[in-house]
A and B are shown apart, each in its own frame.
Chain A
Amino acid sequence: AQTIHQWPVAEIKAVGSPLSLGCTIKGKSSPNLYWYWQATGGTLQQLFYSITVGQVESVVQLNLSASRPKDDQFILSTEKLLLSHSGFYLCAWSLRTTNTEVFFGKGTRLTVV
């Protein structure tokens, strides 16, 4: 069975500090990977997607970056956090075929103070 593990579960960080969030997908070879962001009470906004190792496409510019160093790992980071970065970050995966279900991880709750 496929599992998706996100870390950390929650973070409280200061404005201007760096951030690194990660997720790992086990049990599925070469999945498509995604990062989504959700403001409190808001909709899901896709930030990045990746269809293969080393290749990441940006969907929305939020002063964040993403990398896929391994087939099963996706990292979201920034060198300087803004207050507007607060929210719920969700890593997700899907099969590489078109129009299939997207499965979400449990998410990371980020509070920037």
Chain B
Amino acid sequence: QQKVQQSPESLIVPEGGMASLNCTSSDRNVDYFWWYRQHSGKSPKMLMSIFSNGEKEEGRFTVHLNKASLHTSLHIRDSQPSDSALYLCAAMNTGGLSGKLTFGEGTQVTVIS
């Protein structure tokens, strides 16, 4: 069964600093990665997705994907207290039923002033 591993488990970042989160899938059929952010007590919201090798940037968030190693990373620059949340990586198989996501255990990010 596919596993999605995330690291680190938790991260403390000073306000204005950079947070770097990692995610790797064990399934060679995975083609799509999603990053979700979940604030405490709330439901997850999609942050970014990546399907192609390389890098994608949206504002303060950058995501990288290396399809050969099935590794994706999320980088948050100029971190703000509002970025404190659980960040979940999810992977989807090639041609899989849309929404059949496998989630990792998440990285808990805390931004301190």
Contacts and interface: CB of A to CB of B under 8 A. Distances in A.
A16 B97 CA distance: 34
B19 interface: no
A106 B97 contact: no
A46 B43 contact: no
Interface string A20-57: 00000000000010100000001111100101000000
A95 B98 contact: yes
A26 B49 CA distance: 25
A96 B97 CA distance: 8
Nearest to B106: A43
Interface in B35-52: 41-46, 49, 51
A99 B44 contact: no
Given A95-B98, A104-B43, A105-B43, A43 B105 contact: yes
Interface residues of B, number: 26
A95 B106 CA distance: 25
Interface in B87-101: 88, 90, 92, 95-101
Interface residues on A, range: 20 to 34
A38 to B, nearest CB: 9
Contacts of B31: 99
Given A98-B95, A98-B97, A44 B44 contact: yes
Given A90-B43, A105-B43, A107-B43, A98 B98 contact: yes
B24 to A, nearest CB: 15
A100 interface: yes
Given A99-B31, A99-B51, A104 B45 contact: yes
Given A104-B43, A104-B44, A107-B43, A97 B98 contact: yes
Nearest to A102: B99
Given A43-B88, A102-B101, 19 more contacts: A42-B106, A43-B103, A44-B44, A44-B101, A46-B100, A49-B97, A49-B100, A90-B43, A93-B99, A98-B96, A99-B31, A100-B98, A101-B34, A101-B49, A102-B34, A102-B99, A104-B44, A106-B43, A107-B43
